Amino acid sequence: MRTFPVQLSLVLLITCPVIACRKPQVTASASAVPVSKKSASTEPPRSDTFHFSGEVNRGDRFRAPAGSNLIFALEPYAGNDSGWTIRLLPGADAKSMSMDCIGAVSEPLHGDKNVEIEPPDDLSQKPAKWRPREFEFVPDAAGCRTAWNLTNLVYYPSKLTDEQRAEAGEKLGKIPTAHGRFTVLQSVLSPATNTNETGSIEWLKFEVELDFPTASSSTLPQGNAPQAQAAASAVGIHAVDLQKFLTKNYLEAQPDLTYLTDQCAGDQPPIMEVGVQYGDLDGDGQDEAVYQGFTCMSGTAGVDYFGVLKMLPDGKLVPLPIESQRNGFKGRHDLYHGLRGHLRLEIKKGRLVEIFPLYANDNECNACSSGGEREFFYRWDGHQFTLDDIMDTPPEPNKN
């Protein structure tokens, strides 16, 4: 269990390992095959947004978990060209890296600017103006593989008859899709040289938003929707009485709390109070539980019992680790300056967020912080929650 000093807070950043993935080179067929269109719905489907941010240097590949077992990837241009291609992979194995969950539902067009990140036309503008990239994608790994195989049958030369190609096109058109956005937040650009007439992108900071359909809008059987929805809401970690579990079985959540048995008064329960909120924090399509509360040893610094629980396929609840406190983050070394604890946890766009009141000076009382708040954003990296970003939010203007 991590403990809070007088001035402290927690932080996490996702480190994205590099993978070698190359977009397959294909030649479009001369004959066009119609793909059946989905019928328009009178009500837009509900969605859960998976959000993350990242950074990439010129020539580097980037990848990050993107929910539903997908992997978001930026593939750098070859040679002296500067830029990246946006891709979504249905897995990390060699076969999956040859697929693309965006390209699987996009007509093959040369120079599709929606998935290409290239230097802006006018490099003299400060800051540079970047157009958000909007794209459609298949929102699950299995569906992506199916769509990819169908796309190759529909659009690229094969031994299929026209009837077979039309049937493949109809199946492709029925595969559900979702919407994604890629937004450049900051950039470092270099002017054009003799070898690069368009200039180059030396560094990007970006954010990605993927709108995954909710279970009730995309995966429930249509023949028995009310019953299916009721069943869906009753399974997984939501079906567990976590208030009871976290109060009675607190050592399963935090094994290092054994000292509470001796420290708490005889008539005092070890766990005094605990609250729970839910969200998919590791991108597997299933909710995790974020809890926060107070033990019998809680003092004036606030919450001292908190963490994340995940339900395994066999129904067992396990804690997900959070990385240890850092001394610095991206050149910043004042991570805990102005903090005195008083933690609260929230889930924001698929990320675990630890929020602390920020004290402007040492003379302020515990309930009198005037410096706003400091937020530490954590993202699951496959092994632990690791620091993703830090944001200081100024105090709200005095309304009196």
Of 205-209, 295-299, 303-307, which range is least confident? Answer: 295-299
Using alpha carbons, list the distances in angstroms from residue 160 to 37, 107, 169.
21, 19, 12
pLDDT, position 305: 92
- Residue 325 — pLDDT band, cuts 50, 70, 90? confident
- Residue 160 — pLDDT band, cuts 50, 70, 90? confident
Helix (H) or strand (E) holding 230: helix 225-234
pTM: 0.46
Q: Checking DSSP bridges between strand 47-57 and strand 373-380, what pairing results, if any?
A: unpaired
Q: Residue 28 pLDDT > 50, yes or no? A: no
Q: What stretches of 45-165 adopt beta strand conformation (E)?
A: 47-57, 62-65, 71-76, 84-89, 116-117, 133-137
CA distance 385 to 389: 12
- For residues 137 and 335, the model is more confident at 137
Copy the structure tokens of residue 347: 């889930």
- Residue 2 — pLDDT band, cuts 50, 70, 90? low
pLDDT, position 94: 74
What's the chain's Rg over C-alpha atoms? Answer: 25
Q: Residue with structure tokens 């947004």?
A: 49
CB-neighbour burial class of residue 62 (10 A; exposed 0-12, middle 13-18, buried 19+): buried
Helices 141-155 and 162-173: crossing angle, nearest 10°? 150
Using alpha carbons, list the distances in angstroms from residue 47 to 4, 58, 218, 348, 352.
36, 33, 9, 15, 19
Beta bridge pairs of residue 322: 385
> Taking a C-beta distance cutoff of 8 angstroms, is the pair 282, 288 a contact?
yes
pLDDT, position 134: 94
The closest of 244, 235, 379 to 308, measured between CA atoms, is 379
Helix (H) or strand (E) holding 391: strand 385-393
9-36: average pLDDT? 33
Length of the chain: 400
Q: Residue 295 pLDDT > 80, yes or no? A: yes
